[in-house]
Amino acid sequence: MTALAVTGATLTRMLRDRTALFFMVLLPVAVIVLIGVTVSGFDRFRVGLVPAHRTGPVAGELVSELREAPGLRTLGYDSPDDARTALRRSELDAVVVIPDGLDRDVRAGRPVTVRVLVEPSGSAGHGAVSSVSAVVAGHAARLQAARFAADETQGSFDDALALARGAEQAASPIVVRGETVDGHSDFLPLGYGYSTPTMLVLFVFINALGGGATIVQTRRTGVYARALAAPVSARTLVAGETLAHLLLALAQSLLIVTVGALAFDVAWGDPVAAGALVTVWALVGTGSALLVGALFRTPEQVHAIGPAFGIGMGMLGGCMWPLAFVPDWLRTVGHAVPQAWAVDAWTTVLSRAGDLSAILPELAVLAAFATALLVLAALALRHRLTTGAGT
């Protein structure tokens, strides 16, 4: 029996386990969806929109621009009173009331006031006002250009407005790019861009720990003992189990990456850096699986302790929240576990557009964790097989 035969037998046993498949396939995707939906939209202001009762083309265009603004999440209301009630309940950050006579006043050249209502104590309201003001200012600039053209050419306002729209679309936009001097972002993106990579770190490790129960069960049923009675060495068994659990960790990582990219539009950054990070983290999980399989006595112990231990390490390492939110001493303690280094590397790749060279320090630390776990696990499992008759 070769190491590849051991790998094939282990993969067959695990893929026939429906409970294991649930934890490897369905649960990570479900949690990614849940967390992504929960934290998505935090980068947009909730704005209630009360359209005019008599809506003309100018007012309708303003409403459309407000709805399409990337920094706003608009909700329509039939009356200002309903919108004010939602604002008082903190369901909205601001309310925009479109005046009834907007089209008439614009054509007559009279000034128009668009009211924006906010709660005095709401901190998000002022940011919402700035975003709304930017949209209204862009709309007003087009109207002013049309008004000027109509007055100078003695033509109709509608023709001048159509000309202003065409000129605006043909002109090259001025892009304002913000850059932090002597600083960088320490946060993963919001929504699915945050939940997907951190859940990859969390679930690959937890499922690797759970996979150690398969090794324990194989030991207890005497499969290893019978294999050792044949011309199969303990080294071959360890190599086969290592390859099997590495392939499982890589398969689950690939599944999460694929689902995140296709279903949730997650950008995984530089492919070389992301691939190296996924591979090294799979090696960390493989070493953990083998070590659990060598040290625990029963599968029940693995199932009872493994997930709690993995979740605790994930919380400590920043899988549940960015470590930038915790005190300095806790952040230092968190980097005692490999999860923190993996999340730091994903932060660099996703938020700072880092390449392979940018995450070399984190990869080196993770490689050290993986090497230590794999060496300890191989020695412990080989010792268990040779001295305990595979039990």
d(CA 66, CA 69): 5
- Global pTM value: 0.69
DSSP label at residue 278: H
Res 285: pLDDT: 93
Res 360: pLDDT: 94
Distances (CA, A) of 239 to 16, 292, 385: 22, 16, 13
Close Cβ partners of 64 (under 8 Å, ≥ 6 residues apart) = none
**In this structure, what token pair is assigned to residue 212?**
């150690």
Ordered DSSP codes for 209-225: HHHHHHHHHHHHTTHHH
Res 286: pLDDT: 94
Per-residue pLDDT of the chain (391 residues; tens, 9 = 90+): 588 888 888 888 877 777 777 877 788 778 777 766 665 555 678 899 988 877 788 888 888 888 888 888 888 898 888 988 988 888 888 999 988 888 888 888 888 888 898 887 766 777 888 888 988 888 888 888 888 888 888 888 888 888 887 777 776 566 666 565 655 555 555 566 667 888 889 989 998 888 888 888 888 888 877 877 777 788 888 888 899 999 999 998 998 888 888 877 788 888 999 999 999 999 999 999 999 988 888 888 888 888 899 999 999 988 887 787 788 888 899 999 999 999 999 888 887 778 899 999 999 999 999 999 999 998 998 888 877 644 5
Question: Alpha-carbon torsion 255, 256, 260, 266, what sign?
Answer: negative
Write down the H helix ranges in the chain: 3-15, 18-21, 27-39, 57-68, 80-88, 102-108, 123-153, 157-170, 192-220, 223-229, 234-263, 271-295, 299-316, 328-334, 338-351, 360-387
Res 373: pLDDT: 93
Q: What is the CA radius of gyration of the chain?
A: 30
Partnered with residue 75 across adjacent β-strands are 48
Ordered DSSP codes for 300-367: HHHHHHHHHHHHHHHHHTTSSS-GGGS-HHHHHHHTTSHHHHHHHHHHHHHHS---GGGGHHHHHHHH
DSSP label at residue 115: E
Pairing of the two strands 94-97 and 115-117: antiparallel
Res 389: pLDDT: 45
